[in-house]
Amino acid sequence: MTEPEIISVLRPDGTADPSLDPGLPDPELLSLYRHMVLLRAIDEKAVALQRSGRIGFFVPSTGQEACSIGAGHAVRDGDWIFPAYRDHGVGLMRGYPLAALVGQILGNTTDATRGRQMPNHWCDRSIHLVSVSSPVATQLPHAVGAAYAAKLRGERIAVLTTFGDGGTSTGDFHAAMNFTGVFRLPVVFFCENNRYAISLPVEDQTATGTLAEKARAYGLPGVRVDGNDVLAVRKVVADAMARSRAGEGGTLIEALTYRLGPHSTSDDPTVYRSEEEVAAWRGKDPIRRFAAFLKGRGLLEDPAAEEEGAKETVRRAIEAGEGAPPVPLSSMFEDVYAEIPWHLVEQRDSLLSGKG
Amino acid sequence: MAEVTLIKAVNDALATEMARDPSVCVLGEDVGRDGGVFRATEGLLRRFGPERVIDTPLNEGGILGMAIGMALNGLRPVAEIEFSDFIYPAFDQIVSEMAKMRYRSAGQFTAAVVVRAPSGGGIKGGHYHSQSPEAYFIHTAGLVVVMPSTPSDAKGLLASAIRGEDPVIFLEPKALYRTVKGEVPQGEHLVPIGKGRIVRGGADLTLVTWGAMVPVAEKAAAAAAKERVDVEIIDPRTLWPLDIGMIEASVNRTGRAVVLHEAPRTCGFGAEISALIHERCFLHMKAPVARVTGFDTPFPYALEKSYLPDPERTLRAIRASMAF
Ligand SMILES: Cc1ncc(C[n+]2csc(CCOP(=O)(O)OP(=O)(O)O)c2C)c(N)n1
């Protein structure tokens, strides 16, 4: 069987392949770049916050910015997003405010979700960004259900769900792909193959040569894209979303990328991968690659200044969020049910009165 | 004897049992080259090779299903679930298949798998890395449920679990992994399944607790001692089948009981222990059994300190029981 080709738009010489270039207007191109830079600045700052004990945990996406930002740009108003914990970039690209993102990390009263979940578990109903779960790939069947509901109501929308290579091993992945094929639903499965599920290399995760080819078993098209090429990701995801919106069903996209940092702030990647491997991928940094393209187009003069600006933006957002009061104790008992039942009233009152 | 951490004791038990019995295998996500996300399986791959230390794809149902088949065909698999919160994709394999294999085959087959899973809160893990699921498994006929609270018990109970003929859910209190140290016998060391431990003798009140709540109970008992209340602490170690004899004897003597656990209250294991005590010790009792537990809410990230029982809450229950 021939492997599906890997779609790239940005060529080694820094220009875009004219046959595939999505032809985005200049301000859009700059927006892609600035969001990637912002995403990395958030990562760097959040990891530093964790190291200094100011937040509990963080999952960085450094190295995968082209995936999150490119895919996020392909989402339109009305579409739904079911992201994995590493894809804060998709939300950010969709207009999830930086202040809300920072608030969630801090888990204090600036957190719209009231300190309920550890960092990296965002949501925002107003943009159909559904609450992130830690268990891998549980969101995939949810994407299917949301797509079904939209189809039933005749809405011409698409649903984007993102996950890692490890996610393709779960039962939920297979259930979701199968249902999408059978019901011909508008779900775009965006798999970021960053080569590792914590320590497990993708070669030990699956015996198929590609992840994209798994789509065949479910009657869906499978596409491979260069995940460090933001224009290619944008194009491939936008095409798949358009197909879905047109009623032609779902797609599995495999984006080939690399997680440059640790799996999370609790992980030590040096025990399972080599420095040379990381260095080779550092050379394919998606931000630098896109910067070169923008420079060639005369759209970007000073990448260093952009990076400084993003850092400053993040620093200010954290300054604004830190120091807010902790979430109140009574909030622990709210939102468990639509109305608070007697047993939680009793437990709340005993905790608040200090008698429990 | 060496002073080691609880996680090191787990590692020691695995290495010792693997060296002793070539049918013992370890499988799970990241257990090989990474040595497990908590490093419980560190060094095993190098020592015992990839056939016996198996890095699996990311699929808990697959891990447990495969472990069941390995056990049916003569191996002694020890499956690791990275956090007990991720055990639910394997729930069907555990409760419907592994637990029932002996019964449904009238003893012809048994799925003597050991499932190790870090459990409980206290590490700022939010609700997906902090839950205490023991009650689900205790409720399932056919399973042995174990939770050690000291390094010596961790090593000895895990070794016994591996050698046993029943499936075992071995819940490790992750908050204690590196916070407690203790003497652990080198080489072979067994602690029997089904036998509780008297953590501290006392005459006035019986405090039953396990896992990461044992140190909390010890602090509460020390504070109670200052108020001249002599608390006996019992750690069942094997939660199911429970060493009810040890608890019964103690409560018959003290006439008072408090159960302390971090899992939610309703239908928590404390409810069962309370019922057992009321059924068996009623005529000796001077106060109803009190429960100190987590709340019936999802495990909250920012408020975890308030969610988890602490010595103060425990002491209040002790006082209330004494004043009844
Ligand atoms: C069901 C489940 N099992 C185990 C884990 C622990 N865990 C967290 S992330 C992870 C690896 C996921 O890898 P992948 O799906 O490739 O996504 P990536 O983290 O690389 O983005 C594992 C095993 C989990 N979160 N959920």
Look at A347 and B265 and tell me if their CB atoms are within 8 Å. yes
Q: What is the DSSP letter of B74?
A: T
- Chain B positions touching A206 (Cβ under 8 A) are 57
A81: left (phi over 0), alpha (psi -120 to 50) or beta: beta
- What are the C-alpha distances in Å from B213 to residues A332, A341, B3, B98, B237? 21, 27, 21, 29, 12
Which residues make beta-bridge pairs with A223?
Answer: A253
Residue A349 to residues A52, A327, A342, A344: CA-CA distances in angstroms? 35, 17, 10, 8
Report which of A256, A253, A240 is spatially closest to residue A79, judged by C-alpha positions: A240
With H, G, I as helix, E, B as strand and everything else as coil, classify residue A265: coil
Phi-psi region of A188 (alpha: psi -120 to 50; beta: other; left: phi over 0): beta
List of chain A residues whose C-beta atoms are within 8 Å of the C-beta of residue B86? 135-136
Residue B116 contacts by C-beta under 8 Å, 6 or more apart in sequence? B10, B40, B78, B79, B80, B81, B158, B170, B172
| Cross-chain Cβ contact B129/A118 below 8 Å | yes
Residues 180-209 of B with CB under 8 A from A: none
Q: Which of B88, B124, B128 has its CB closest to that of A56?
A: B124
Flag whether residue B129 sits within 8 Å of chain A, measured between CB atoms: yes
Q: Which contiguous run of DSSP H or E holds residue B3?
A: strand B2-5
Identify the residues whose C-beta falls under 6 Å from ligand 1. A 86, 134-136, 163-167, 194, 196-198, 259, 263; B 29, 58, 60, 82, 86, 89
Q: Which atom of ligand 1 is nearest to the CA of A198?
A: 11
- Ligand 1 centroid to Cα of residue B31, in Å, is 14
Of B129, B295, B300, the CB nearest to A116: B300
Structure tokens at A135: 């268990």
Catalytic residue among B129, B139, B261, B284: B129
Per residue of chain A (356 residues), what is the pLDDT tens digit?
566 799 999 999 999 999 999 999 999 999 999 999 999 999 999 999 999 999 989 999 999 999 999 999 999 999 999 999 999 999 999 999 999 999 999 999 999 999 999 999 999 999 999 999 999 999 999 999 999 999 999 999 999 999 999 999 999 999 999 999 999 999 999 999 999 999 999 999 999 999 999 999 999 999 999 999 999 999 999 999 999 999 999 999 999 999 999 999 999 999 999 999 999 999 999 999 999 999 999 999 999 999 999 999 999 999 999 999 999 999 999 999 999 999 999 999 999 998 77
pTM: 0.95
Nearest to A198 among B30, B125, B300 (CB): B30
User: Which residues in chain B touch residue A325, judged by CB atoms under 8 angstroms apart?
Assistant: none
Chain A nearest C-alpha distance from B281 (Å): 25
